[in-house]
Amino acid sequence: MIILTLNCGSSSVKYQLINTKNREKLAKGSVERIGMASSIISIATSNGKKKKLTKEILDHTAAIGAVLELMKDKDLKILKSFDEIDAVGHRVVHGGEEFKNSMLITKEVKDKLRENFKLAPLHNPPNLKGIEAAERVLAGRPHVGVFDTAFHSSMPKKAYIYALPYVFYKRYQIRRYGFHGTSHRYVSEHLTKFYKDGAKGKKIITAHIGNGASMAAIVDGKSVDTSMGFTPLEGLVMGSRCGDMDPAIILYIMGLQELSKSEADSLLNKHSGLMGISGLSGDVRDLEEEMEAGNKRAKLAMDVYCYRIRKYVGAYAAAMGGLDSLIFTAGVGENSSFLRKTVCEGLDFLGITLDKKKNEEKSGKARKISSEKSRVDVFVIPTDEELVIALDTEKIVKESKTT
Amino acid sequence: MKQNLVALVGTGTIAQGIALTLARNALDVIIYDENRAALKSAIDGMSFSIDREIEKWGMTENEKRAALSRIVTTTVKADLAQASVFFESKGEELEEKRDLMKKLDMISDDEALLIMTTTTISVTEVSKVLRNPARLIGLHFLHPVYKVPVVEVVKGHRTSSETVDATRKLLNTLDRQYIEVFEYPGYVTTRVILPLLNEAMHVLMEGLASAEDIDKAIRLGFDLSMGPLALADFIGLDVLLGWMESLFHELGEAKYRPCPLLRRHVREQKLGMKTLEGFFKYDKDGKKVSS
């Protein structure tokens, strides 16, 4: 099947065109600055052709239309006709408690998504906008929603209930949802395919460390805990998000500096994390450079960053009562050997021993970086959320046709 | 007509706040004024406001660049023609507003939305000079515009329901709550707050308590974020005096008669936070200093 995957933000659309048969990425790219006079559309094909153009694109419908037109471009030769696209898979950030799996999008599903706006006010409205736009442009074929939260819906109650008055859960569905589910699922499934019994009996920790970062504890292929919570702010230190902290601090700061709710929100989400501690950058590559040049604040930021990940490794090993493998993925997790080394150092007692040389190797492929004697397998597995979206879409479309 | 382009006439504090609010919500803004220096100082003013916001963690440097990149200025009125929304925010003079709205009416697309900002001026009165009075509506913003989450929507007698709908949609985009009000001097916010501020000034003048203590009692007693005298300083005492005189004149009710203490402060050019002194003293950053 030829599947178009879409990830729609408030002023951007990221897309990939995937042939699920051979898993080939026929095209990928993005539209940025939607709603402005100078929107930027970019595309890259599997055979290395690239194109970038600037054009006025006022909404998501126009954006998706422009992308499709570009796929018919004579030089790029990706599609002859839109009819070749069999289905569309949409990334949706928040599935709430309703969506435990990917879903064929129907009117009911869209209504539910709208109800979930309050849970993800930044992400779900543009996600839905993208769905409605794609339905207009690519009418008459199935659309499927793949939810960031769905993989974590298997968490037991003890992992997702906060120690607040229970009424907040009952009345407002305030609980841990977790995010990056598609990524945690992809890398863990990628690994367990190689085990004799598959995921059965395996205890895995996945660390998705990108600009946003989260970890998950996975038993028998099911997420049993994850570090992001009600929102993506909880858990690990991130590029500009604080992650775990004493919640009283924010009340104290709000009083101290007379901050409004939105200022406090911006403080925690945009001014904190690596950016906040280092005062330099939220980008690990910059901080590693600065650190080598002797910048102490950059070093401190990285120390706090890695220490938090390490604590979660310990916590999740304890939560699962053991550990078979640890997977690093996403931008930083895949590329920073320093991070992996710092996190794993001295964890031999847990059975984690890295192969120094393998850890340093640069590669875009999935690879084992633990030493031969390491009881726990440590892997770097490049994530591919779009592939999951495409494969889920194919599966659901096939199922819906047979029923 | 460009759907995401908003034309704005005016360079004052409220105009700057409107421009920032629009740009922060991904709309492109073109500001017109005949005076180049006024445009320049409006841009500087917005840049300064954002810097204050960044200091208070409310925005980031990247967001500042993005917002300011959406705002352009012009001294040529015809440059506004492509806009789908026209905002007027230039003083509180009926004749001046009429004149300006008439010009905007002439250059704008028939489908464009015309918005005048108003505290006391009648939308119906202004709309009389337009080709199609149905597309004019009034909005009453409060200072600082980019922070106050509520706006009063003022319908004139001939404002159409389509115009009201388009305005609601715009305010939703701007993430603003709104209330609809009928034309009446002062609308809701100004009318209700003025007697409170005026009364606080009378209490101070009569020597019942110190300015500090009056504010403390009202702020803590009624769970407000600011006391009445600090709020008066924040709004600007000259602005308050103007509103009160206008309401007193229109409605003839004694409750809007400006307190003599307010007049005295304005005479002495103690206009509040902006002159670093009103009922309280302030430093350059607008922080209260103990006198």
Band (B4; pLDDT cuts 50, 70, 90): confident
Query: In which order are the strands placed within the sheet that holds B71-74?
Result: B71-74, B28-32, B2-9, B83-88, B113-117, B136-140, B150-155, B177-182
Pull the structure tokens for residue B150.
């509520």
- Domain check: are A114 and A236 in the same one? no
Residues of A in contact with B30 (CB under 8 A): none
Residues of A in contact with B26 (CB under 8 A): 10-11, 35-36
Question: What pLDDT does residue B291 have?
Answer: 58
* Chain A: residue whose CA lies nearest to B57: A267
Residues of A in contact with B147 (CB under 8 A): 260
- Domain check: are A232 and A349 in the same one? yes
Handedness of CA B45, B47, B51, B53 (dihedral sign): positive
Whether chain B has a CB inside 8 Å of the CB on A264: the answer is yes
* Chain A: residue whose CA lies nearest to B148: A260
Q: Which strand (E) or helix (H) includes residue B173?
A: helix B161-173
CB contacts < 8 A (A, B): 37
Question: What pLDDT does residue B56 have?
Answer: 86
Beta carbons of A264 and B57 less than 8 Å apart: yes
> What three-state secondary structure class fits B174?
coil
Handedness of CA B157, B158, B161, B163 (dihedral sign): negative
Band (A75; pLDDT cuts 50, 70, 90): confident
Under a CB-based contact definition with an 8 Å cutoff, are residues B156 and B139 in contact?
Answer: no
* Chain B: residue whose CA lies nearest to A12: B26
Q: What is the mean pLDDT of residues A198-206?
A: 94
Band (A18; pLDDT cuts 50, 70, 90): very high
Question: What pLDDT does residue A195 have?
Answer: 87
Under a CB-based contact definition with an 8 Å cutoff, are residues A362 and A334 in contact?
Answer: no
Beta carbons of B60 and A270 less than 8 Å apart: yes
Band (A196; pLDDT cuts 50, 70, 90): confident
Q: Which amino acid is at A56?
A: E
At CB < 8 Å, which residues of chain B contact A?
2-4, 26-28, 53, 56-60, 63, 70, 147
* Chain A: residue whose CA lies nearest to B28: A36
**Overall number of domains in chain A:** 2
Angle formed by the axes of helices B260-267 and B237-251, nearest 10° = 130
Question: What pLDDT does residue A59 have?
Answer: 84
Shortest distance between the Cα of B60 and any Cα of chain A, in A, equals: 7
Residue B287 in this model has a pLDDT that exceeds 70? yes
Beta carbons of A36 and B57 less than 8 Å apart: no
Per-position DSSP letters for A51-80, written without gaps between them: EEEEEEE-SHHHHHHHHHHHHT-TTT---S
Under a CB-based contact definition with an 8 Å cutoff, are residues A124 and A149 in contact?
Answer: no
Residues of A in contact with B57 (CB under 8 A): 257, 259, 263-264, 266-267, 270-271
Whether chain B has a CB inside 8 Å of the CB on A267: the answer is yes
Residue A164 lies in a domain: no
Whether chain B has a CB inside 8 Å of the CB on A263: the answer is yes
Nearest CB among B4, B58, B70 relative to A263 is that of B58
- Domain check: are A215 and A364 in the same one? yes
Question: What pLDDT does residue B27 have?
Answer: 87
Residue from B22, B57, B79, B84 to probe the interface with A (highest A Cβ count within 10 Å): B57
Residues of B in contact with A282 (CB under 8 A): none
- Domain check: are A205 and A338 in the same one? yes
Q: What is the mean pLDDT of residues A214-243?
A: 96
Q: Is the model more confident about B231 or about A55? A: B231
Give the integer Cα–Cα distance in Å for B80 and B30: 7
Handedness of CA B51, B53, B56, B61 (dihedral sign): negative
Q: What is the mean pLDDT of residues A244-250?
A: 97
Nearest CB among B27, B57, B70 relative to A271 is that of B57
Range picked from A102-116, A250-264, A313-327 for highest mean pLDDT: A313-327
Residue A46 in this model has a pLDDT that exceeds 90? no
Question: What pLDDT does residue B25 have?
Answer: 86
Question: What pLDDT does residue A37 have?
Answer: 67
Question: What pLDDT does residue A403 have?
Answer: 67
Beta carbons of B56 and A263 less than 8 Å apart: yes
- Domain check: are A137 and A206 in the same one? no
Q: What is the ipTM of this complex?
A: 0.71
**pLDDT single digits (tens) B164-208:** 999 999 999 898 999 999 888 888 999 999 999 999 999 999 999
Question: What pLDDT does residue B166 have?
Answer: 93
**pLDDT single digits (tens) A268-281:** 999 999 999 999 99
Going by the DSSP 8-state scheme, the letter that residue A219 receives in this structure is E
Beta carbons of B4 and A257 less than 8 Å apart: no
Give the integer Cα–Cα distance in Å for B151 and B172: 11
Q: What is the mean pLDDT of residues A1-21?
A: 92
String of b and e for B82-98 (b: at least 16 CB within 10 Å)? bbbbbbbbbeeeeeebb
Whether chain B has a CB inside 8 Å of the CB on A271: the answer is yes
- Domain check: are A341 and A274 in the same one? yes
- Domain check: are A92 and A191 in the same one? no
Give the integer Cα–Cα distance in Å for B71 and B69: 6
Question: What pLDDT does residue A400 have?
Answer: 85
Give the integer Cα–Cα distance in Å for B193 and A243: 41
Residue A160 lies in a domain: no
Band (A183; pLDDT cuts 50, 70, 90): very high
Residue B284 in this model has a pLDDT that exceeds 70? yes
Residue % of chain A over a pLDDT of 90:
76
- Domain check: are A212 and A346 in the same one? yes
- Domain check: are A197 and A105 in the same one? no
Quick one: A130 exposed, middle or buried, by C-beta within 10 A (0-12, 13-18, 19+)? buried
Beta carbons of B59 and A267 less than 8 Å apart: no
Under a CB-based contact definition with an 8 Å cutoff, are residues A26 and A13 in contact?
Answer: no
Under a CB-based contact definition with an 8 Å cutoff, are residues B21 and B8 in contact?
Answer: no
* Chain A: residue whose CA lies nearest to B70: A36
Domain final residue, candidates A96, A123, A147: A147
Nearest CB among B26, B63, B147 relative to A35 is that of B26
Superfamily of domain B2-182: NAD(P)-binding Rossmann-like Domain (3.40.50.720)
Under a CB-based contact definition with an 8 Å cutoff, are residues A109 and A92 in contact?
Answer: no
Shortest distance between the Cα of A34 and any Cα of chain B, in A, equals: 9
Decide yes or no: CATH 1.10.1040.10 for domain B189-283: yes
Query: In which order are the strands placed within the sheet that holds A222-226?
Result: A222-226, A213-219, A203-209, A325-329, A377-380, A367-368
Shortest distance between the Cα of B110 and any Cα of chain A, in A, equals: 20
Nearest CB among A37, A58, A262 relative to B58 is that of A262
Nearest CB among B26, B53, B56 relative to A11 is that of B26
Residues of chain B with CATH 1.10.1040.10: 189-283
Beta carbons of B60 and A11 less than 8 Å apart: no
Shortest distance between the Cα of B208 and any Cα of chain A, in A, equals: 29
Under a CB-based contact definition with an 8 Å cutoff, are residues B32 and B73 in contact?
Answer: yes
Domain final residue, candidates A126, A147, A168: A147
Q: Which of A75, A83, A86, A148 is catalytic?
A: A148
- Domain check: are A331 and A256 in the same one? yes
Whether chain B has a CB inside 8 Å of the CB on A38: the answer is no
Whether chain B has a CB inside 8 Å of the CB on A25: the answer is no
Q: Which amino acid is at A91?
A: R
- Domain check: are A198 and A56 in the same one? no
Residue from A36, A117, A258 to probe the interface with B (highest B Cβ count within 10 Å): A36
Residues of chain B with CATH 3.40.50.720: 2-182
Residues of A in contact with B60 (CB under 8 A): 240, 266, 270-271
Q: What is the mean pLDDT of residues A63-90?
A: 89
Q: What is the mean pLDDT of residues A259-270?
A: 91
- Domain check: are A233 and A331 in the same one? yes
A348 is catalytic: no
Residues of B in contact with A259 (CB under 8 A): 56-58
Nearest CB among B3, B57, B60 relative to A58 is that of B3
Under a CB-based contact definition with an 8 Å cutoff, are residues A332 and A339 in contact?
Answer: yes
Band (A287; pLDDT cuts 50, 70, 90): very high
Residue A174 lies in a domain: no
Going by the DSSP 8-state scheme, the letter that residue A5 receives in this structure is E
Question: What pLDDT does residue B271 have?
Answer: 95
Nearest CB among B4, B58, B70 relative to A58 is that of B4
Beta strand B2-9 with B28-32: parallel, antiparallel or unpaired?
Answer: parallel
- What residue numbers bound the domain in which A122 lies? 2-147
**pLDDT single digits (tens) A119-174:** 888 788 889 989 998 998 898 899 999 999 999 999 999 999 999 999 999 999 99
Give the integer Cα–Cα distance in Å for B150 and B171: 9
Residues of B in contact with A240 (CB under 8 A): 60
Going by the DSSP 8-state scheme, the letter that residue A82 receives in this structure is G
Q: What is the mean pLDDT of residues B33-62?
A: 91
Question: What pLDDT does residue B80 have?
Answer: 94
- Mean pLDDT over all residues of chain A? 93
CATH number at residue A61: 3.30.420.40
Residues of B in contact with A254 (CB under 8 A): none
Give the integer Cα–Cα distance in Å for A144 and A118: 22
